Amino acid sequence: MKLPAWISAAASALVAAALPACDIVNLPEIKPGITTQAEVRARMGEPSFIHWNDDGSATWEYSRQPAGTNCYMISFGPNQVVSKMEQVLDDANYGKVRPGMSKDDVRRLLGAPGSKTPFTNLGEEIWEWRIEGMPPMEETYFMVHFDLAHGDVRKTSKRVQPKG
């Protein structure tokens, strides 16, 4: 039996709203040098993307876009134990985005964006992440502008949108 579309949409919204609450419980339990890949998967679920490192190890991406303001990258050593865990949507990482970087490089640094919008009249595609700002009155977004023809970074910007 197929569920009505509104029930599926409501269920998806509830799951998305519950993810940050689960992070508050699960993230403190993930300890570098102790927690295994199997334990991370049991606590956090399947990663939204797996980045393979040059040494054969992996970094798992847990993006909370478009509704959340976090993206967690959990790296594992060759022994499949957590070596590092970080929330990558921060000023330090925004500052690492440079003109000429590829889309893959930006994805690796910041995780999946909340939206990707092409502007053919400007010759740009803009990737946008919802980030920590000044709630509850406004929402803040970090944007990376890519050249449509070449696919590399042109510039970055931020925008603040009043809630209304």
Number of domains present in the structure of the chain: 2
112 with 125, same domain: the answer is yes
135 with 104, same domain: the answer is yes
Q: What pLDDT does residue 19 have? A: 45
What is the domain range of residue 136? 91-162
The CA-based angle 28-32-35, given to 5 degrees, is 75
Q: What pLDDT does residue 16 have? A: 42
128 with 156, same domain: the answer is yes
Q: Which residues of the chain have pLDDT under 70?
A: 1-21, 135, 164
Q: What pLDDT does residue 3 have? A: 53
CATH code of the domain containing 70: 3.30.1450
95 with 147, same domain: the answer is yes
Where a domain ends, among 55, 87, 119?
Answer: 87
Q: What pLDDT does residue 4 have? A: 62
Q: What pLDDT does residue 6 have? A: 52
95 with 148, same domain: the answer is yes
98 with 141, same domain: the answer is yes
User: What contacts 24+ positions apart, CB below 8 Å, involve 144-149?
Assistant: 144/97, 144/106, 144/110, 144/113, 146/103, 147/123, 148/118, 148/119, 148/120, 148/123, 148/124, 149/123
The residues, ordered by sequence, that sit 6+ positions from 159 with a Cβ below 8 Å of its Cβ are 140, 141, 143
